């Protein structure tokens, strides 16, 4: 819908006809907000909707809700769609096609996975179902499977709803988007919050009671009783239509586009959002990152290009921020294993610092880790785990990464300093300073 | 002392003798913390001292406190110093000389300016004297002269101490480091806090009572009753010794150095901190900026260089953050008048946005203004006025400025996004996006 709106801003209804298909009940909503709705911080679902179907229609977009596209006919420039209410199918022609089919939550084929009480949290419909289930549940034990962003955010949400929360994760540490040493800090903080975290947990089945509802989650080691189970196992690009139509997909199953977000090898097809792979500017490789901020940028770029304007999406550096209660978690760039996989040699530096001048009230501790390339000292990545004021500091590293700065350049940056906002050296610079020494010590 | 400590880290006492002279009672303290000490947020003065004279001496630095250097003899490589307790003078030779004489507060030659009850806030001694005066004062009316960083921070401090605060400033708006349209937002917020701000105020004299103490501040227009007066008129480089010795000074009276912080034209003299001018990387001109974070970086660079290592200070982009109670204020790069003075043509874009996703609790409004060069779209500056989460966002622009990014590149940046931390588009990017349109609309 960002692409549709962007195109409409440039070309009025007389110049450009825009038809949009949506199989769900909602448009333009913040999926990222669902955990906060479930946790009770946000009223939903209306609060999470940036623009309703009616608002889109008022702007001259022919929006067909509850209508699923079932086939792309690229040769004849048309799509087949089914009205999910009536079951009727029809073909609609196009001059330019935009694919924004999003991602689908990973849902392993385990016994019991479809039992009542097992919930995903991908759509507003999912959120509503989960909230209904929480209201109806008799016990207060929740198991979250997966300790990535959605997993830890849902752990917080369920904790706030008064649940005893257990988070099962395959990895040794939660937040595998961080290096394990930083993930360990997240685990310790989660334990401190009263969330039980179980690492190295291989879920084998969902156990159900006589009523058919979930009663426990079984791993190879143990059974974890559960009145409700939330799946937070990440997502994969939803590209079955594109695959069937022979469009180019990457290593992670996402559509491959050029810098204008046009699908590679096609003149008349664009794609954006969670269904595409994006260029990682640090590793030079494609990645799949499902994140609303990228999707929104893609939409804007596509909207401009299909309307005869111009825009590009140069790529990402892999920035992400999250929180579990008061714990803030941030990362950008490459982890150690990414850097190794990219053929890079690097040093790391980890420091503890505070969000404000040490003497200023509310100064909160944080741990900052940076990776820098050997010899050149080029910044490769940064990770931060801390309290208030920690997460958004990662933006400093994100911009520096994009600019290809060295850690020495990072140390010299002129960042905002005043006692209520930062120590004399910003924590990111303290880490960079240590990395400068490490680069020097590592020699050529 | 940062230079001395840095040099000592590289070279032990057997390799390098380090003598330091300090005319005051304290070493290595945070002058930026004084307003928060006065306001009662911070216990002082010990909290503000990062390292005491004893700690420096333990590290092998021959520190002579309460000893004022009165003359530099560059030809014979020696300095003359006077012990302020005994009055004794003596010469000390050097191979390498580091000047870190700081800045002195501007104190206009007005009648009554030296009356009891008129206070500067430059040193810890000043802070102590002011606190003593506040404790002894009978009335509760404070006048702050000057509405720059120190002025607005002291207004907050005095408000917290229960004073009725009036801030007099020559400019039409407070915070002349911002453009007037952004300064107006600061004025409105200060008025909302109950601080009386008077713009266009030309102070003509300090009026005293029968006891010789301050009783009011007179401007060309009016008299403002005052039980205590705080001067926040900014500072000038303290370079009288350097000037007498014939060292090169810039337009603002600060020492001029090369990138290694060595005084220009000298082989054996370095200078750093508030007594030097620094290169503004955006305008390409020297400026004087008294800020602890720069001073500290200078010290580290100088310490490395005098000890036979290597370091440079490439320059600044003019980043500064501050607050008045819950109002956060930030700026980086050029104001409109700086850009004009630098011969640049530019567009501006100002937006209102929120610190978090609009639906997330605690989302606070902020106003962001950016300046971008016409035609190239290069970012020239950014200013932010808002509530919690506003100020440190200026770092995004500071890094982008340093990297010479365009506003279009800023829009494409991969910044940390999650509902508790940012809207889908970071406020700085929302402003940049508007600037992109303005650049396009302005044409060549």
Is A275 an annotated catalytic residue? no
Is A428 inside any structural domain? yes
Which two three-digit tokens encode residue A120? Answer: 């995903």
Look at residue B443 in the predicted model and tell me its pLDDT: 87
Is A170 inside any structural domain? yes
Is A157 inside any structural domain? yes
Q: Is the pLDDT reported for residue A444 higher than 80? A: no
Task: Tell which of A233, A267, A285 closes a domain.
Answer: A233
Q: What is each CA distance from A41 to A158, A410, B81, B253, in whole angstroms?
A: 12, 36, 64, 54
| Same domain as B435, residue B368 | yes
Can you state the angle between helices A394-402 and B394-402, rounded to 10 degrees?
20
Burial B76-96 (b: 16+ CB within 10 A, else e): eebbebbeeeeeeeeeeebeb
* Residues facing A68 on adjacent strands: A82
Which two three-digit tokens encode residue B140? Answer: 């509760």
| Same domain as B241, residue B229 | no
- Kindly determine whether residue B393 and residue A392, on different chains, have CB atoms separated by under 8 Å: yes
* Residues facing B62 on adjacent strands: B19
- Compute the distance between CA of residue A194 and CA of residue A89 in angstroms, rounded to an integer: 51
Look at residue A443 in the predicted model and tell me its pLDDT: 87
Q: Does B390 touch chain A (CB under 8 A)?
A: no
Output phi, psi for A275, to 5 deg. Answer: -95, 0
What one-character-per-residue DSSP string does B225-258 give?
E-SEEEE---EEE--HHHHHTT--B-TTS-B-B-
Helix (H, G, I), strand (E, B) or coil at B60: coil
| Same domain as B114, residue B226 | yes
Is A326 inside any structural domain? yes
- Check residue A362 and give left, alpha or beta (phi > 0: left; psi -120 to 50: alpha): left
Could you list the residue range(s) of the whole structural domain that residue A336 is in?
Answer: 321-442
Cis check: omega of the bond before B45, within 30 degrees of 0: yes
What radius of gyration, in Å, describes the C-alpha atoms of chain A? 23
pLDDT band at A383 (very low <50, low <70, confident <90, very high): very high
Residues 6+ apart with CB under 8 A from B95: B77, B268
- Compute the distance between CA of residue A64 and CA of residue A81 in angstroms, rounded to an integer: 10
Sign of the C-alpha dihedral, residues B195, B196, B202, B205?
A: negative
From chain A, the residues in CB contact with B292 under 8 A are: 417, 424
Query: How many other CB atoms are found less than 10 A from the CB of residue B441?
Result: 8
- Compute the distance between CA of residue B411 and CA of residue B432 in angstroms, rounded to an integer: 6
A119 burial type by CB count under 10 A (0-12 exposed, 13-18 middle, 19+ buried)? buried
- Compute the distance between CA of residue A300 and CA of residue A311 in angstroms, rounded to an integer: 8
- Compute the distance between CA of residue B171 and CA of residue B175 in angstroms, rounded to an integer: 9
If you measure CA to CA, which chain B residue comes closest to A33? B419
Which two three-digit tokens encode residue B38? Answer: 């006065």
Is B54 inside any structural domain? no
Structural domain count of chain B: 3
Task: Tell which of B233, B259, B294 closes a domain.
Answer: B233
- Kindly determine whether residue B320 and residue A296, on different chains, have CB atoms separated by under 8 Å: no
Query: Rounded to the nearest 5 degrees, what angle is found at the Cα of A358, between the Cα atoms of A353 and A363?
Result: 80
A355 and A386 Cβ atoms separated by less than 8 Å: yes
- Kindly determine whether residue A293 and residue B417, on different chains, have CB atoms separated by under 8 Å: yes
What one-character-per-residue DSSP string does B343-368 give?
T--EEEEEEEEESS-TTSTT--EEEE
Average pLDDT estimate for A323-344: 97
CB pairs under 8 A between A and B: 197
From chain B, the residues in CB contact with A330 under 8 A are: 416
From chain A, the residues in CB contact with B36 under 8 A are: 360, 419-420
Q: Does B330 touch chain A (CB under 8 A)?
A: yes
| Same domain as B275, residue B192 | no
- Kindly determine whether residue B422 and residue A357, on different chains, have CB atoms separated by under 8 Å: no
- pLDDT tens digits for range A216-231: 999 999 999 999 999 9
A206 and A110 Cβ atoms separated by less than 8 Å: yes
| Same domain as A361, residue A261 | no
Closest to B374 measured CA to CA, from B411, B329, B343: B343
Output phi, psi for A80, to 5 deg. Answer: -100, 135
Residues 6+ apart with CB under 8 A from B437: B349
A410 and A203 Cβ atoms separated by less than 8 Å: no
Look at residue B44 in the predicted model and tell me its pLDDT: 80
| Same domain as A326, residue A407 | yes
- Compute the distance between CA of residue A104 and CA of residue A236 in angstroms, rounded to an integer: 6
Look at residue B385 in the predicted model and tell me its pLDDT: 98
Which of A322, A398, A419 has the CB atom closest to B414's CB atom? A398
Output phi, psi for A220, to 5 deg. Answer: -60, -20
Is A38 inside any structural domain? no
- B216 membership: H or E segment, kind and range: strand B214-219
Average pLDDT estimate for A160-185: 97
- pLDDT tens digits for range A422-435: 999 999 999 999 99
| Same domain as A124, residue A95 | no
Residue with tokens 């994100």: A398
Query: How many other CB atoms are found less than 10 A from the CB of residue B114?
Result: 10
Q: How many CA atoms lie less than 13 Å away from B201 in the CB half-sphere?
A: 24
* Residues facing B68 on adjacent strands: B82
| Same domain as B389, residue B248 | no
From the candidates A16, A19, A32, A74, which is the catalytic residue? Answer: A32
From chain B, the residues in CB contact with A318 under 8 A are: 414
- pLDDT tens digits for range A396-430: 999 999 999 999 999 999 999 999 999 999 999 99
| Same domain as B220, residue B119 | yes
Cis check: omega of the bond before A45, within 30 degrees of 0: yes
| Same domain as A111, residue A94 | no
Q: Which of A177, A416, A426 to mutate to test the interface with B (most CBs of B within 10 A)?
A: A416
Q: Which of B36, B332, B394, B418 to mutate to test the interface with A (most CBs of A within 10 A)?
A: B418
Please report, in tens digits, the pLDDT of each residue of chain B (444 residues total): 999 999 999 999 999 999 999 999 999 999 999 999 999 999 989 999 999 999 999 999 999 999 999 999 999 999 999 999 999 999 999 999 999 999 999 999 999 999 999 999 999 999 999 999 999 988 999 999 999 999 999 999 999 999 999 999 999 999 999 999 999 999 999 999 999 999 999 999 999 999 999 999 999 999 999 999 999 999 999 999 999 999 999 999 999 999 999 999 999 999 999 999 999 999 999 999 999 999 999 999 999 999 999 999 999 999 999 999 999 999 999 999 999 999 999 999 999 999 999 999 999 999 999 999 999 999 999 999 999 999 999 999 999 999 999 999 999 999 999 999 999 999 999 999 999 999 999 987
Closest to A36 measured CA to CA, from A119, A126, A127: A127
Is B116 inside any structural domain? yes
B164 and B141 Cβ atoms separated by less than 8 Å: yes
B209 and B225 Cβ atoms separated by less than 8 Å: no
- pLDDT tens digits for range A57-88: 999 999 999 999 999 999 999 999 999 999 99
Is A175 inside any structural domain? yes
| Same domain as B148, residue B256 | no
* Residues facing B205 on adjacent strands: B218
Q: How many CA atoms lie less than 13 Å away from A356 in the CB half-sphere?
A: 20
CA distance B64 to chain A (A): 25
CATH number, domain containing residue A75: 3.50.50.60
In what order do the strands lie in the sheet containing B89-93?
B67-73, B78-83, B89-93
If you measure CA to CA, which chain A residue comes closest to B333? A414
Q: State the distance between the two ends of chain A, measured CA to CA, in whole angstroms.
A: 50
Q: How far is CA B274 from the centre of its chain?
A: 9
Task: Tell which of A204, A233, A262 closes a domain.
Answer: A233
Residues 6+ apart with CB under 8 A from B114: none
- Compute the distance between CA of residue B356 and CA of residue B354 in angstroms, rounded to an integer: 6
CATH number, domain containing residue B378: 3.30.390.30
| Same domain as A434, residue A339 | yes
B384 and B328 Cβ atoms separated by less than 8 Å: yes
From chain A, the residues in CB contact with B377 under 8 A are: none
């Amino acid at each position: 819908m960002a692409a549709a709106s962007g195109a409409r801003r440039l070309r009025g209804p007389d110049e450009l006809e825009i038809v949009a298909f949506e199989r769900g009940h909602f448009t333009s909503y913040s999926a990222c907000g669902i955990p906060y709705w479930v946790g009770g911080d946000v009223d939903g679902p209306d609060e999470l909707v940036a623009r309703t179907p009616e608002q889109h229609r008022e702007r001259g977009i022919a929006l067909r809700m509850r209508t699923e596209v079932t086939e792309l006919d690229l040769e004849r420039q048309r799509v087949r769609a089914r009205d999910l209410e009536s079951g009727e199918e029809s073909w609609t022609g196009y001059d330019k096609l935009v694919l924004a089919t999003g991602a689908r939550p990973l849902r392993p084929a385990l016994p019991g996975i479809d039992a009542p009480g097992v919930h995903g949290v991908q759509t507003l419909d999912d959120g509503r179902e989960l909230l209904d289930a929480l209201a109806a549940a008799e016990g207060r034990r929740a198991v979250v499977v997966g300790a990535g962003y959605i997993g830890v955010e849902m752990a917080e949400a369920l904790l706030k709803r008064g649940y005893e929360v257990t988070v099962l994760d395959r990895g040794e540490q939660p937040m595998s988007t961080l290096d394990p040493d930083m993930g360990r800090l997240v685990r310790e903080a989660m334990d401190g919050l009263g969330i039980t975290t179980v690492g190295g947990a291989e879920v084998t089945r969902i156990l159900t009671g006589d009523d058919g509802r979930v009663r426990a989650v079984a791993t190879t080691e143990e059974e974890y009783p559960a009145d409700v189970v939330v799946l937070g196992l990440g997502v994969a690009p939803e590209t079955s239509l594109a695959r069937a139509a022979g469009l180019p997909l990457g290593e992670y199953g996402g559509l491959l586009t050029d810098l204008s977000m046009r699908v590679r090898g096609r003149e008349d097809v664009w794609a954006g959002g969670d269904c595409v792979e994006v260029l990682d500017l640090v590793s030079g490789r494609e990645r799949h990152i499902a994140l609303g901020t990228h999707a929104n940028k893609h939409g804007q770029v596509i909207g401009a290009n299909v309307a005869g304007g111009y825009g590009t999406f140069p790529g990402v550096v892999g920035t992400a921020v999250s929180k579990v209660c008061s714990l803030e978690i941030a990362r950008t760039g490459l982890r150690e294993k990414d850097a190794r996989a990219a053929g890079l040699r690097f040093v790391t530096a980890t420091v503890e610092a505070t969000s404000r001048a040490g003497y200023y009230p509310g100064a909160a501790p944080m741990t900052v880790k940076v990776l820098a390339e050997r010899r050149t000292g080029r910044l490769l990545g940064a990770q931060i785990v801390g309290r208030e004021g920690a997460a958004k500091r990662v933006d400093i590293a994100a911009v520096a990464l994009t600019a290809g700065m060295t850690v020495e350049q990072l140390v010299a940056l002129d960042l905002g300093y005043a006692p209520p906002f930062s120590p004399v050296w910003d924590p990111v610079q303290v880490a960079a300073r240590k990395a400068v020494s490490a680069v020097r010590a590592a020699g050529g």
